[in-house]
Structure 1
Amino acid sequence: MVKAGRKRGAPAEEEPNDGAVDYEKQRAERIKENKERLHKLGILELTKKLNPPSKKLTTPRISRRAVSIDDPPRRSFRLKDKPPVSYIERMIPKTDKVSKEDVEINIGEGENPEFYTEEHEKLLGDCQNAWTLYVDGYGEDGQRVYDPDNGKSCHQCRQKTLGQRTACSNCKLGQGQFCGDCLYMRYGENVIETNENTNWICPVCRGICNCSRCRREKGYAATGAIYRKVLRLGYKSVAHYLVKTRMVVTTNI
């Protein structure tokens, strides 16, 4: 049977300990009596005089003589006869005299083997006049002018900048827009000449586009910035290098 007065399963309340309560009362009374006794004897005032509040220690300020620009420099006697060190960097002149054997082009392996035929070679572009790089669409400071409102996107570099763009007579879409620099470096064509040709077809429609997106769709690895390397090897553009070095000769039997 469960006794009335406490629910079953409820924790039992702790009963107060009368001995502990009496001890705390007695202790408080003794502390009070001791303080009153010390006050009557004047000991509390004496301890305050013996332990004054601590002051902040401040470091004395040392005045130093100002150094005049006419004073001789402080130098070690060991180094006084040596010429002063110059930290100005010397410009090393660039040279284009690089042998073909020293040029390495590493393009990763894609999902599909990359090869071209003679038909692809016939689709490679050309130009009568050389295109000047890093001028069209650039500001006076030599930087490209990015304009999200007035600029036109380039299919190759996918940058919306100012400057001339190509127009494809076949697709008549944004994929046929190439900026002058990309068209010249990647395909060896001049944007001014292509705009004068109403029948010009873009590299995408010709099937020789080497932008990273088109190559990925074909299962090829991206080429990276290899224009200057292929130029040293004697090729006029990246497209010419890819097609001519991965040519598969077909023979009719």
Structure 2
Amino acid sequence: MVTLRSSARTLEISKQTKNNENTQPTEESYEQCRIKRIKENMERMEKLGIQSLSFKLKTEFLPRKPTSQRKTPSHSSPLPSSSQPLRRSSRLQNVTPISYSEVRGPRSKDMLEDTIEGLVEEGSKPEIYTEEHEKLLGTCEESWTLFVDGYGTDGKRIYDSVKGKTCHQCRQKTLGYHTHCSTCNLVQGQFCGDCLYMRYGEHVLEVKKNPSWICPPCRGICNCSLCRHAKGWAPTGTLYRKISKLGFKSVAHYLIQTRRALTDSEKEQPVSAKRSLPFEDKEEFYEKKDFLCSDEPGLKKSQSSDSR
């Protein structure tokens, strides 16, 4: 009995599913009915005039966009031309107009001296040089090309911690020519070509040919930041370009020639500080090494060869 009932139920379920499949519309038939209904509605609205009325109402109540008029850019100068009269207020009619153009007149000697004195700050101790210091200044016969020796093809300086040598002035371990002092035989006697030329007016190749050359620290005329701090003087900073425009050979020439104490004979007949110094005989020059100051300790890295 149970088997008969179950078989009868399965037959009924199968019949119902077949009827549902026949009665339910497929997806294609539903889409066709929807399109047909939309078409009928549109025809009915067109007969009643509803479609044209809705379009008319939309066009009337839509917000209108403002018509943007492009303005042609005016390239005229904001300042009035010389041909046109100046527009001035009534209270300024009797006042002479102000001229903002820079007028460079001839520079007097006093103005030049004020400019020279203001290049280096004053330190805790007065910076005064003697005639002996001026005689210790070096010179060179050939000119030195800056920023070439020790630089790569890209124009950047080559730093090498293994093969490079440390310059006492800029404290950078770089490649290129470096000096060697016959007196101290220390790192303080090593100067790169750029620092030696800009700071002391000497040529590194000429110095290397001289086996009895004495470095600026041993001569007592070193102007690096460490040596100047040890003496109570302010560092010079990037000074070479400024003093070269004023006519000085190097930073050392500028410092010594502008801060030298005059003797009694020189006070009676003053001489310009920008004079060109003759280079004295080498034997007479190196006989004065008893006057030279002692070594200055300390070496640190810096950013620029002209900043010390």
TM category, shorter: 0.5 to 0.7
The whole-number CA distance in structure 1 between the counterparts of 2:218 and 2:74 is 72
The whole-number CA distance in structure 2 between the counterparts of 1:233 and 1:80 is 47
**CA shift in 2, pair 1:186/1:78, >3 Å:** same
Q: Aligned match of 1:159 in 169, 172, 188?
A: 172
**CA shift in 2, pair 1:82/1:188, >3 Å:** closer
Q: Aligned match of 1:146 in 153, 159, 182?
A: 159
Which residue identity does 2:253 align to in structure 1?
Answer: H
Which residue identity does 2:220 align to in structure 1?
Answer: G
Instruction: Please give the per-residue CA displacement for 1:73-122, whole angstroms capped at 9, x wherever unaligned.
Output: xx962137879xxxxxxxxxxxxxx9795756432221110000000000
Q: 2:142 matched to 1:129?
A: yes
Q: 2:70 matched to 1:77?
A: yes
The whole-number CA distance in structure 2 between the counterparts of 1:80 and 1:169 is 72
Instruction: Please give the per-residue CA displacement for 1:24-69, whole angstroms capped at 9, x wherever unaligned.
Output: xxxxxxxxxxxxxxxxxxxxxxxxxxxxxxxxxxxxxxxxxxxxxx
Q: Which runs of structure 1 show a deviation greater than 3 angstroms over 4 or more consecutive aligned residues?
A: 80-83, 98-105
Aligned to 1:169: 182
Aligned to 1:29: none
Which residue identity does 1:168 align to in structure 2?
Answer: C
8 Å contact kept, 2:130–2:261: yes
Give the unaligned 5+ runs of structure 1.
1-74, 84-97
**CA shift in 2, pair 1:203/1:82, >3 Å:** closer
The whole-number CA distance in structure 1 between the counterparts of 2:138 and 2:69 is 68
Q: 2:228 matched to 1:235?
A: no
Q: Aligned match of 1:212 in 204, 225, 239?
A: 225
Identity rate, percent: 60
Instruction: Please give the per-residue CA displacement for 1:188-230, whole angstroms capped at 9, x wherever unaligned.
Output: 0000000000110000000000000000001100010110111
Alignment of 1:18-29 (within 5 A): none
Which residue identity does 1:139 align to in structure 2?
Answer: G
Instruction: Please give the per-residue CA displacement for 1:97-155, whole angstroms capped at 9, x wherever unaligned.
Output: x9795756432221110000000000000000011000000011111001111111000
Secondary structure class of the residue paired with 1:239: helix
Give the unaligned 5+ runs of structure 2.
1-67, 77-105, 266-308
Secondary structure class of the residue paired with 1:216: helix
The whole-number CA distance in structure 2 between the counterparts of 1:201 and 1:106 is 28
Aligned to 2:7: none
The whole-number CA distance in structure 2 between the counterparts of 1:240 and 1:158 is 21
8 Å contact kept, 2:119–2:239: no
The whole-number CA distance in structure 2 between the counterparts of 1:171 and 1:162 is 22
Task: Answer with 1 or 2: which has the greater Rg.
Answer: 2
Aligned to 1:183: 196
Which residue identity does 1:77 align to in structure 2?
Answer: R
Secondary structure class of the residue paired with 1:116: coil
The whole-number CA distance in structure 2 between the counterparts of 1:81 and 1:202 is 65
Which residue identity does 1:235 align to in structure 2?
Answer: F
The whole-number CA distance in structure 2 between the counterparts of 1:81 and 1:250 is 68
**CA shift in 2, pair 1:132/1:76, >3 Å:** farther
Aligned to 2:274: none
Aligned to 1:116: 129
Secondary structure class of the residue paired with 2:179: coil
Cα root mean square deviation, aligned: 2.3
